[in-house]
Amino acid sequence: MRRVGILGGGQLCLMLAESLHRLGADVVVLDPDAGAPAHRRLPGGIVAPLDDAAALEALCARVDVVTYEFENVPSAPLRPFEGQRPFWPSVDVLMNTQDRAREKCFLDGAGFPCVPHRVVPDGGDLAAAVRALGFPSIIKTARGGYDGKGQTKISDEATLAARLPRGPQPGGWVVERAVDIATEVSCIVARDARGGEAVFPIFENLHRDHVLDFTLLPARVSPAVAERAREIGLGVARALGVVGLITVEFFVTTDGGIYVNELAPRPHNSGHVTRAATSLSQFDALARVLVGAPLVTPTLAGPGFAMANLLGEVWLAQGAPSADDLALDGLGAIPEVRELYLYGKRGVKAKRKMGHLVAAGRDADDAMANADRARAALSARVVR
């Protein structure tokens, strides 16, 4: 397997392509946007919708194996092509993870712990589900949500009356009890077609406005919590029969509980820290699976690392005239920065993920302080 097709041409595709190139593989990207980061940097891709049968046919003709960089790829149009080329992870895995209702059914059925929830079909009684769970609860669309989009928090009867989503919602809803979160962690597992497995160290994730802000390695949790997350992560990967990568997001609650939040069958934003922090990155691991190279266990490269996302706000604060014009001078003062990666997106927008950086430190806290200083330095207004 040396030619890899990737559905979706964003930053995850771009970083995966780098790892694939290092293994001598060719990459063909399919994305409808000619200005997508991967189309801009990798020539020869296909510009077409992800559910375009002719484009999928053309892609399959040019590659040995197909993967995807996000789970909101329409899965039904991929089915007819699964017989032609392996899709890793499989279309079944994609279907089970792109719909929160199906995902919850899988997790419940396989005995993995989730917060109390109700699945409500389109047109079903959302208010009754919220009342049954109690306040506060969160209503999430079953399909299409990311970075907190498609979610409504209901704190009491008044917000229920005012904010209850109305109108058709294909796929329906999942309502969850809002729990008191002490820490959020994630576990990334890679599995290959021969049964080889690699589990990354557990990451700690800090969000701001529902968007990932920092990822810390090692996670500041007890060894018992880390071990449980690892065990569940591996269990989920095996139960789904994943070939490729799967990320399991968890809530660790203030009363010490650990619950699976959601699954992503692909590289994950929290895993960007592995590009500097572990012997093998999440992208290297997936690339190995895709080309049939053996997996090895990723080991920590130092005592502490932190990834900070760079959202459009950094560019806006600096007064950068365009996405390609971020001044980097501020980083000179912070030698602990191990990686700065700018995704090459065209437009600057608040909340848009435009890049990330990874800093090292004496431990996770120190690394977070360094990453925070580095991001602040990049966010200082620049006189041009």
CA 241 from centroid of its chain's CA atoms? 19
Residue 350 half-sphere exposure toward CB, CA atoms < 13 A:
2
Which letter, b or e, does each residue of 317-332 get, where b requires 16 or more Cβ atoms within 10 Å of its Cβ?
Answer: ebebeebeebeeebbe
Q: Which CB, 184 or 336, lies closer to ligand ADP? A: 184
Q: Which CB, 145 or 303, lies closer to ligand ADP? A: 145
- Least Cβ distance, residue 169 to ligand ADP (angstroms): 16
| Nearest partner of 245 among 286, 205, 305, judged by Cα | 286
Q: Which CB, 69 or 176, lies closer to ligand ADP? A: 176
Residues at the interface with ligand ADP (CB under 6 A): 115, 138, 145-148, 176, 178-179, 181, 184, 207, 210, 249, 261-262
- Least Cβ distance, residue 261 to ligand ADP (angstroms): 5
- Least Cβ distance, residue 3 to ligand ADP (angstroms): 31
Query: What single letter denotes the amino acid at residue 336?
Result: E
66, 81 contact by CB (below 8 A) = yes
H helices within 223-382, ranges in order? 223-240, 274-277, 282-291, 312-318, 364-378
Q: Which CB, 65 or 133, lies closer to ligand ADP? A: 133
309, 213 contact by CB (below 8 A) = yes
Q: Enter the tokens of residue 228.
A: 């449980």
- Bridge partners, 28 (sequence order): 5
Q: Enter the tokens of residue 361.
A: 């430190």
Q: Which residues contact 170 (CB under 8 A, 6 or more apart)?
A: 122, 143
Distance CA 199, CA 178 (A): 29
- Least Cβ distance, residue 259 to ligand ADP (angstroms): 8
Q: Which CB, 96 or 370, lies closer to ligand ADP? A: 96
- Least Cβ distance, residue 174 to ligand ADP (angstroms): 9
Question: What letter would DSSP give residue 363?
Answer: S
318, 312 contact by CB (below 8 A) = no
Q: Enter the tokens of residue 120.
A: 């409500």
CA 182 from centroid of its chain's CA atoms? 21
Q: Which CB, 124 or 148, lies closer to ligand ADP? A: 148
Question: What letter would DSSP give residue 178?
Answer: P
Q: Enter the tokens of residue 42.
A: 């990798």
Q: Which CB, 356 or 373, lies closer to ligand ADP? A: 356
- Least Cβ distance, residue 144 to ligand ADP (angstroms): 9
- Least Cβ distance, residue 94 to ligand ADP (angstroms): 15
Q: Which CB, 59 or 259, lies closer to ligand ADP? A: 259
Q: Which CB, 194 or 210, lies closer to ligand ADP? A: 210
- Least Cβ distance, residue 277 to ligand ADP (angstroms): 21
2, 25 contact by CB (below 8 A) = yes
- Least Cβ distance, residue 70 to ligand ADP (angstroms): 11
**Counting every residue, how long is the chain?**
384
Nearest-CB residue for ligand ADP: 176
